[in-house]
Structure 1
Amino acid sequence: MLAVYNWFLRLLFPYVLLRLMWRGLRNPDYWRRIPERFGFIEPLTNIPPGAVAGAHNTSAGRAPAASRLIWIHAVSVGEVRAAVPLVRELEERYPGHALLITTMTPTGSAQVRELFNGRVAHRYAPYDYLAAVTRFLDRTRPVLAIVMETELWPNIFHACRARSIPIFVTNVRMSESSMHKYRRFARFARATLAQVNRFAVQSEADARRLLALGAPPRNVEITGSIKFELSAGASLREAAEVLRLAWGLDRPVWLAASTHEGEEEIVLTTLAELKKQARFANMLLVLVPRHPERFSAVARLCRRHDLRVALRSETPGALDPAAEVLVGDTMGELQLFYGAADCAFIGGSLVPTGGHNLLEAAAVGKPVVFGPHMFNFQEISQMALERGAGVQVPEGARLAPAVADFLGNANRRDRAGQAGQKMVEENRGALAANMRILEQLMGSSGGPDAAPRNPG
C-alpha cells in the first residue's frame, strides 16, 4: 500500500507545484523557502540549545544540535497556538535539547516567530515524498517527533519508525467526517496509525473513532485538550485594559474573531442592524479575518458598506471615536483583543469550516457566540453551551439578537464570562498527562540527556 501511495504522490507532483504557485498569488510568502518543503534545509548541527538563528529566515540559518533535537509539527496558526504550553514545558524540563517547530503555512511560520521570538527553530515541514522526508530526517535527526492534532503522514511516520524515532501524536481530535474519509483507505490508515508510539486524544469520542480506524488500543490515552492550558496573566490583563481605554470605555465593543469568506458580510449586516438601536449607536466592531492574505479585501468590503474603517497596524494607540470597524490586520494579538472586547463571535462557524477555538475568549472571561458549524470543536463548544459560557445560533440572521443580549446586559455578560473562566480552570490537566507520556518516550529514545531536569 505504501508503494501505491508513493506512486500516487508522484502523479500528483505537478498539481502540488501548481497549488503552491497558486497560493503564492494570494500570499507571496508561499513562494519563499520552497526548497524546505522538499527537505532541502541546512543540517541542524553544532549550535547549543537556546542559541537559535535563522528561525524565520531562509534555510541558510543554523539551529541547535541535531543529536539532541525535539521536533514539533504544527500545521498552521491554531496548532502552533495549541502547542505553546507544551513547548514552554519542554523548554523548562529539557534545557539540553533544542526545539524545532515545523508548519505548512506562512501564517504558522509567522506565529512561531511572534510567540517564541527565536527561542526555537522554524522550518517548513517536508511534503510527504519519501526523498523529501529522508532529506529532512538526515538533516535534523530528531530524538522525538511530536505531531499536533490529527496529521497522518504515511512516509514521515514509517521513516521515523524505521529510524527508531518515537512518534507522539497529541491533542488528537477525530471528527465523524474525518473518520469516514480515512475509512475509505482502511488498511492503509491502520498501517499508518500502527507506526505511532502514543496518541493523546481529547475525548472519549475521539478515542472511539481513532480505535475504529485501527489504532492499537495500548497506544491510545484520553488526556483532554491542552488547549485548556491557557492563563490570563497579569500582563495580558493590563495590556487589555490599556487597549480598551484606547478604543473607548463608553462604547460597546464586539469582536468577530477568525472570520472566513462569506462571514464578513453577515457580520457587517449584523453591525448595521445593531447600530439602529440607540444603545448600540456608537458600538465598535473589531473584525479579525482568519487568513492574513484577506486583510486588505476585508477592509475594502467594510468601506463598500460605507463604514468608517481603521486598521490595527496603523492604529496602535488611541482609536478615532468615529471609527466603526477596526480590522485586526496584525498577528499574535487575538487573545489581547478578546481581553479588550465585551463579547466575541467565533468565526468559521457560520460557514462549514468547523469553527475555531473559543477557549481563548473563555480564558479571559468573555462570552462567545458561534454558528452551527463547530464540528472541529464539538466537545468544547457543547461544554460551553452546557456551562452557559456562550450561545449557538442556527443561522446568520440570529446573530444580532444573540450579540445584543450580551452587549446590552452586563449581568448576563458577566455570568457567561465567569462560567467560561471556570470551565477552562476545571479542565486543566492535559499538559501534565502529555508530559508524563513524553517523559516515557524520551526515556525510550535513550541518550545521556533523556531524563528531564524537573520531572515534577
Structure 2
Amino acid sequence: MLNLAGYFLYIISTQCYFLLVRLIAPINGRAKLLWQGQVGLLQKIKETESTISGKSIWIHSSSLGEFEQGRPVIEALKKRYPSHRIIATFFSPSGYEHMKNDTFCDAVYYLPFESKKNAKELVKALKPELAFWVKYDFWFFYLSELRKQNIPVFLLAAQFRPTQLFFKWYGVFKRNLLKQFTYIFCQNQHSQDLLNSIQINNHILTGDNRYDRVLQNIHPEFELPFIADFKGSSFLLIAGSSYKNEEEIIKQAKENVGDFKVIFAPHFIDEQRLISIEKLFGEGCIRYSTINSIEDLHNKNILILDSIGKLSRVYRYADAAFIGGGYWENGLHNCLEAAAFGMPICFGPKLRRFPEAHELVQQTIGTPINTSLEFISWFKHLLDDPSYTQKISLKCREFVASNKGATEKVLQKITELV
C-alpha cells in the first residue's frame, strides 16, 4: 500500500513540477531554457539516433557539476569501449548548454520530461548497452525501463544521508528507485552503511571521483590567457561560484585589508548579476570577455569571469579561494577544484551535506566563515604570514592526492559485472 501511494504521489509531484516549469518559463531564464529544450525533444532524438548504428553508452547527469564528477569514468569508458558512442543527457540547462557543442561526447541531449511512454521511447532510441547515473536525479520510469530491458545501469558517486526518504519507514517507493540499479558506487562508508540498513547490498566503496577529476585539471595545457597578467605579483583571491553573500563579504575586506586582487566566477552569469558586481566594486572591474590586450588590465583589480567552464582553469593562479553557496542548505559548490591546486579555502558555514568540506575543515585546510569580520581575520592572516599560507597550500595538495583512485575501482567492478 505504501509503495502504491508513493508511486501515485511521485507521478503527481513530477507532473506538477513539469507544469510549473512551463508556467514560469516566460519570467524565469533557467525555466525558459529548460522548457524550450523540451519542445519537440523526443522526436528530435528519435530522428537523429535512427540514422546512427552501433552500440552506445548512456551517461545521465543532473547538471554540469555532476557530469564533471563522472568525467574520469567516462574518459576511461571511451578508452575501454572505443567503438561505442557516448551519449550524455542532462536535466539542467547548466549542463546541456555548456556541453551541447563539446566534442567530448558523441551526442548531448536534454533528458525528456519523464513519463512511462517517454522512457520507453528514449531507451529504444538510444539503444544503450550500458547506462550510468551520476550521484542522483533518480527518474523512476527511465530506471525501471532500463532494468526491464536488461540494460545494466550503474550509479556513480553515490552519497546518502539518513534524512532522505530512502531510509524512512514510509519510503518504500523511494527504496524501489535504488533497487533499479545494477550496482552502486559509494563515495563514503556512511552511504554504504545506510544502504545496508535497507537491505540493499549491491554496492562498493570507491571514494569520490571528483578527486580524480580535479587532479586532471592541474596540467599546464589548461592555462588561460591574460589571467597571469592580471594577477601580476599581487595576492589573488578567487571567489568560485559566488553569490551576493560572498561578494559583499569580500567588499568589506577590500575596504579593510591591504592590497589584493579578486577574480569572481559568479554562479549565475546573467547580465543583471554581472552588473551588480560591477556596481559593488566600481571602476576597478573588468569582464574577462572584454579583454583584448594586457593594456586593458591597467588599474584593474577585479576580474569577472562572464562565461561558463573557466573556473576550474583559473584556480591555478590563486593564492586563496572563497567557495560560494555555503550560506544556505545544500548550496555549497565544488571545493575540490580549488584544493587540487593547493591553497587555503574558505566557505559559508552550512556544510552538513558536504563531507568533502568537512574533511577540509578537519585537515585545517578549509575554514567556515560566518561573518565579514571572520573573513577579514582569516584573510589578513594569509596576507601577513606567507609561510603559513604556503604550509596550508602544501597540506592541501597532499590531501587531494591521497584521495585519488576512485575511477580505477569503478572500472574494475564494471569489468567483473559485464
The verdict on a shared fold, with TM-score over 0.5 as the criterion, is yes
Deviation at 1:317, TM superposition (A): 4.4
Report whether the alignment pairs 1:322 with 2:299.
yes
Where do residues 37-436 of structure 1 align in structure 2 (5 Å cutoff)?
41-45=45-49, 65=53, 67-113=54-100, 116-117=102-103, 119-177=105-163, 179-180=164-165, 183=168, 185-212=170-197, 214=198, 216-217=200-201, 219-229=202-212, 230-231=214-215, 235-236=219-220, 239=223, 243-274=226-257, 280-281=258-259, 283-293=260-270, 296-315=272-291, 317-318=293-294, 319-378=296-355, 380-436=356-412
| SS of residue in 1 equivalent to 2:72 | helix
Distance 1:108 1:439 in 2: 28
**Structure 1 counterpart SS, 2:329:** coil
Q: 2:153, 2:182 within 8 Å by CA — same for their partners in 1?
A: yes
Matched letter for residue 356 of structure 1: H
CA shift for structure 1 position 316: 5.6
Using the alignment, how far apart are the partners of 1:194 and 1:27 within structure 2?
31
C-alpha distance in structure 2 between counterparts of 1:264 and 1:36, whole Å: 40
Report the TM-score when normalising by structure 2: 0.89
The residue type equivalent to 1:216 in the other structure is: I
Alignment length, in residue pairs? 411
Q: Does 1:35 align with 2:18?
A: no
Return the offset for 1:337.
1.4
Task: State whether residues 237 and 339 of structure 1, in contact with CA within 8 Å, keep that contact through their aligned partners in structure 2.
Answer: no
Question: Hey, what's the Cα distance between the residues in 2 that align with 1:305 and 1:95?
Answer: 50
Q: Which amino acid counterpart does residue 434 of structure 1 have in structure 2? A: V
- Give how far 1:374 is off: 2.2
In structure 2, which of residues 11, 14, 23 is the aligned counterpart of residue 18 of structure 1?
23
Could you list the per-position Cα deviations for residues 65-109 of structure 1 after superposition, in whole angstroms to 9, with x for gaps in the alignment?
Answer: 3x5111101111211211221111111111011001111122212
Unaligned 5+ residue runs, structure 2?
none
**TM-score, normalization by structure 1:** 0.82
Contact 1:39-1:133 at 8 Å conserved across structures? no
Structure-2 residue corresponding to 1:440: 416
**What is the alpha-carbon distance in structure 1 between the residues aligned to residue 169 and residue 324 of structure 2?**
30
Q: CA 1:15–1:32 in structure 2 vs 1: closer, same or farther (change >3 Å)?
A: closer
* Deviation >6 Å, runs of 4+: none
% same residue? 21
Q: Deviations over 1:275-332 (max 9, x none)?
A: xxxxx23x21111111233x54243343245352100111264252322321111222
Q: Is the Cα contact below 8 Å between 1:169 and 1:200 reproduced in 2? A: yes
Aligned partner letter, 1:362: A
RMSD: 2.7
Tell me, in whole angstroms, the C-alpha distance in 2 between the residues paired with 1:136 and 1:21: 28
Contact residue 307 and residue 324 of structure 1 kept, 8 A: no
Instruction: Using the TM superposition, give the Cα deviation of residue 412 of structure 1 relative to its aligned residue in structure 2, in angstroms.
Output: 1.5
CA distance in 1, matches of 2:272, 2:13: 38
Letter in 2 for 1:367: P
CA contact (8 A) 2:161 2:191 kept: yes
Q: Distance in 2 between matches of 1:234 and 1:352?
A: 30
Secondary structure of 2:194 counterpart:
helix
